[in-house]
Structure 1
């Protein structure tokens, strides 16, 4: 799902999610009758369950207590923070050495009840979602009652279309309330959802659909980002052509522009209107799967991570319940110190590049370029970019020397391969052909050196004596200077 998500604690009971499609746009929304409040205690995130304990006077005390008696700590929070159909009879059964992790055994609950129902029942008019569309000044407010209706209608539509407990559903939607409703609708009927970023190419989407064996896809006619329309349905059609497992595609109208509809396609808005807004939630086991999320690994191929229900809900609920005036989510790639009152959330920078808000795994870009018959090896790093935050810099080792006449053609072909495999947002801004890469004797690429070259800081390369061939560094610096006229 494109765009950024920010969680605020507004008022004292109901959390609100701001869904923003606007790049670098940060706002704390309040309404006339709602005040952003700071909840103070032994930690910035309130833990009323432990406030009366005289031995817990600081965050460090609370943290140590969670380590010394995890059953009491997490069991107390699970009973207090989550709504159960059936309470668990054992808190945990974990052996990290064996990879055996189980929490809250024999408990029964549903994620949509915990995320939507209990707030809708308490105060249905409270704002659940603030949708800041790509078009400035067109934000929409969605109450918990409205969100509940959307979730229940979509859940009933999924069920009546043959989607059931344990089925996988791929969600390829733009940033919008319908995307939230889709996730919650899947959770309500026990289906496992897999959100795929609505900017990935048809090939990237197809790979995730096939790996999950998803029979259902939920998408939109088009997305809108930066004033441009994104042909989501067209991308889905190309992906589904490679996925024999897909039986149905629900199409949401984001722009309303006409798109080709096939025999697999179901108009989401129209069919939802016919459904009841009451759908009984499935009683899911604590360890039943809630969703799958794909990320790129060191091989460049997507890796699917599965999250179960109870443990994820509890930890996410605790870590994301932050006072609006205390916590603020801010994207950054340069490592600058945050201003007073701001908390900076940063990813691991070596293998992930943040390009205009898109988190791109370097391995995926490298894997796409390595498939070219004239490429022996590539290494991709990020570098500071005035507009994008970070740009993508690809160091490419060709099979043989590339003549100046052929260089532009090869660069264009490599960019096209990345665009086709991942998406246009992942195309390298700079490509430098080189006879080799700086490697240690164990074969590890020294990306630290590549980043300094890309950032025009040849005086900060550091120790290169451990490299198999230190002379390649001088070649990189010279070619970078000549190619980009530094």
Structure 2
């Protein structure tokens, strides 16, 4: 985008009941934000002091563009704050986690039970030779064992890399290799819509030519029980036997890495985003408390999977650091019927519900009669994440699910940011289509390509102007890629999104300025899908674009040039879809495939996906001066 463009803004807004604001942690946005601007370091120091540290920091922030250190020389362990302090402070018998399986199976863990399981599994990992700094890949269904594994890694200072259980063997292999994972933790299978999907067979394929892997830990949940043949395979619960019950938390430096999480890039392979122990803990704790306004009696249900950053921050580390009760569920929103999620909200008295616009749009399509069957009066706060919440979906969510009494948090943030950056804080006026204003603690703006702020109502690039505690520290093994975030637009962090700000400072996200596709709330790099297609023997070249989809956000369309000797056919289309599914998982499968004779390219040979998209959507292609032909 080389020039600004004007956006027509609807001035509609909703004001929640004043009592919501009166009871909230963050009572007045303007006051909180101006206090932060007066002394940004004091703001974050006050938050950090609400948590427990083994040794206090020397300095709150060291900023040497583009590198930040937060809480320098502070010593901590995030699991001490998520487990020990609650067990020792009278919450040991409080429910930490409620789990509902795809088949309706239920499990409840108190803080004491979760604490003991995490310590035993941490000792089990130590018995396999896992040490501080080692990378552990977790590829599991959404079961309590997945969260136990994450916390156990953090307990002993191992760096976890959680890979979403819907990814295929190739995507898993590349992430194992890139992180040089020593251990892979998996399950025999996941359940989805009543069907068994094997995970262990995908792991077997993924570890071929990954000599870094020393052991595969398997959670066996199915009957008959899967046999473990290889000498490198061990059972999840067997490694918890014959170990010490106690496992002291590893003393971590605030800047030690906590986890790597892979996110799609516009070019090349997925990027391993690295988050550090101290700043990430402070950021997720702060936003869980103040944005979700989380209180002692709340039951929080974030419907994401820990394979994504939303699950890391707002299923695991944020809520558990607050001592909250979390609900996790393997269920899909329409199986066995479209009432399943609403029945769980009623059954477990869920108070905070955080889901994706794609799910909300699906519920809209199913009709209001489904939620109307259930008592949703326990709901207090509604949240949305993954892509912009369009005004129609906002109105439906507010009216049908929230009964016009629940504040809606449309949150904008990224894997790279670790925590919420934009939202409408509880009790403030909500504007459909707008994410909201910067969270007190961060400085976000809309600028032109030179980094100059653009006028209200004018589109521009979304940037973060100052460092924040939960920012990523680097891209694993590719620090140059990290520096690009901070060196593209002025000295600011370039988010890669287009946005517009209104007169009140509310920001609307307009979409990606690059080629990341957002399908059903999941970021998928066009490069990853293209390389999966090109790995098929029939494909010479491929380009994929995202097309607006009323349900999924983006649907994927692929343009394919075939190799000599291969002819277009419906059979080949099906083959290619299956090929992508096997490589990357079902979420990355194109909805459409066009066989073409050529692709638009720049003189340097880069495919101009922008041109394909403009042509597909009947839009003005813009500047085509770099087009080869």
Which bracket does the TM-score occupy, shorter chain normalised?
0.7 to 0.9
| TM-superposition CA deviations, 1:288-336 (whole Å, max 9, x none) | 1111111121224121111110000101111223133134236667734
> 2-side partners of 1:93 and 1:67: how far apart?
17
Secondary structure of the 1:223 match is strand
Give RMSD over aligned pairs: 3.1
Picking from 224, 234, 237, the partner of 1:269 is 237
CA change 1:101–1:334 in 2 (3 A) is: closer
CA change 1:336–1:444 in 2 (3 A) is: farther
> 1-side partners of 2:522 and 2:193: how far apart?
13
CA change 1:79–1:279 in 2 (3 A) is: same
Q: State the match for 1:394 in structure 2.
A: 558
Q: Cα offset for 1:465?
A: 5.7
Q: State the match for 1:145 in structure 2.
A: 112
Q: Cα offset for 1:391?
A: 3.2
Contact kept? 2:57, 2:71, Cα under 8 Å: yes
> 1-side partners of 2:220 and 2:382: how far apart?
34
Is structure 2 residue 101 aligned with structure 1 residue 133?
yes
Q: State the match for 1:425 in structure 2.
A: 587
Question: Where do 5+ consecutive residues of structure 2 fail to align?
Answer: 1-18, 294-351, 353-379, 399-406, 415-496, 498-510
TM-score by length of 2: 0.60
Is structure 2 residue 153 aligned with structure 1 residue 186?
yes
Contact kept? 1:233, 1:259, Cα under 8 Å: no
Picking from 67, 73, 85, the partner of 2:43 is 73
Picking from 292, 311, 328, the partner of 2:279 is 311
Q: State the match for 1:342 in structure 2.
A: 408
Contact kept? 1:110, 1:187, Cα under 8 Å: yes
Picking from 545, 563, 570, the partner of 1:408 is 570
Contact kept? 1:300, 1:366, Cα under 8 Å: no
Secondary structure of the 2:149 match is helix
Picking from 103, 108, 116, the partner of 2:70 is 103
Taking the TM superposition and a 5 Å limit, the aligned residue runs for 1:315-464 are: 315-321=283-289, 322-323=292-293, 324=352, 325-329=380-384, 335-337=390-392, 338-339=394-395, 340=398, 341-345=407-411, 349-350=511-512, 351-356=515-520, 358-372=522-536, 374-383=538-547, 390-398=554-562, 403=567, 406-437=568-599, 447=609, 450-451=612-613, 458=618, 461=619, 463-464=620-621
Contact kept? 1:441, 1:467, Cα under 8 Å: no
> 1-side partners of 2:226 and 2:381: how far apart?
44
CA change 1:133–1:384 in 2 (3 A) is: farther
| TM-superposition CA deviations, 1:173-215 (whole Å, max 9, x none) | 1101111111111111111111011122222111111111111
Paired positions, count: 413
Is structure 2 residue 266 aligned with structure 1 residue 290?
no
CA change 1:83–1:258 in 2 (3 A) is: same
Secondary structure of the 2:237 match is helix
| TM-superposition CA deviations, 1:113-168 (whole Å, max 9, x none) | 11122222231122222222212x43433221111111111111111221111111
> 1-side partners of 2:410 and 2:606: how far apart?
30
CA change 1:267–1:331 in 2 (3 A) is: same
TM-score by length of 1: 0.76
Contact kept? 1:91, 1:105, Cα under 8 Å: yes
Secondary structure of the 2:222 match is coil
| TM-superposition CA deviations, 1:3-22 (whole Å, max 9, x none) | xxxxxxxxxxxxxxxxxxxx
> 2-side partners of 1:292 and 1:440: how far apart?
34
Q: State the match for 1:196 in structure 2.
A: 163
Contact kept? 1:202, 1:239, Cα under 8 Å: yes
